[in-house]
Amino acid sequence: MSKPSFVYVTYIRSSADKVWSALTSPEYTAKTWFGTHHETDWQAGSPWRLVFPDGRVADSGEIVEIDRPRRLVLKWLNEKPELKAEGWSRCTIEIEPVADDAVKLTVTHQLDGEGTKFIAAVSGGWPRILSNVKSLLETGELVLKEKVS
């Protein structure tokens, strides 16, 4: 049986560089990713953390693979106890130009072991974050200006 996973694809009228920035730079993630920012030096093998504005760590792990602006693979552990209990996951972000002015963005999040809570959580989170990234890049505005359930 295949591992528990979540896949989300969205098409964005933008460039691969801009989509990469929107997912990695603090100026963008503060807006699109509900105030969080990445803490890492973006080198393969380096530690990686996603941090809330108040300093709490949302997720931690390691940069497994990085090929800017096409591919990023993260070893990923959510810090919420009930999600942490399900263990490590792997997140793969792929950015593929499909036309002069459009890219295909694919996020695949797979749990190493078994469980349902972590995949349910990321299935809720990624559509919000990626809807925001698409809106911000295409219109300059966010779709979700504040977090809703």
Partner 1 sequence: MSKPTFVYVTYIASTPEKVFKALTDTEATAKFWFGNAVTSDWKVGSPVTFHREGKLILSGKVIEHDASRRLSYTFTPHHEPHNGSDTSRVVMDLEQQKGQVKLTVTHDGFAPDSTVFAGISNGWPLVLSNLKSYLETGTTPLYAPWYEEAAQRATAEA
Residue 120 found at the interface with partner 1 (CB under 8 A): no
Residue 115, helix vs strand vs coil: coil
Number of residues forming the site for partner 1 (CB under 8 A):
26
Instruction: Check binding of 44 to partner 1 (CB under 8 A).
Output: no
Q: How far is the CB of 95 from partner 1 (least distance, A)?
A: 14
**Does residue number 119 form part of the binding site for partner 1 (CB under 8 A)?**
no
65 is a site residue for partner 1 (CB under 8 A): no
Binding mask 2-41 for partner 1 (x = CB under 8 A): ------xxxxxx----------------------------
Residue 90, interface with partner 1 (CB under 8 A)? no
State the Cα–Cα distance between residues 12 and 86, nearest whole angstrom.
32
- What whole-number distance in Å separates Cα of residue 31 and Cα of residue 85? 29
CA separation for the pair 30, 46 (Å, rounded): 22
CA distance 133 to 32: 6
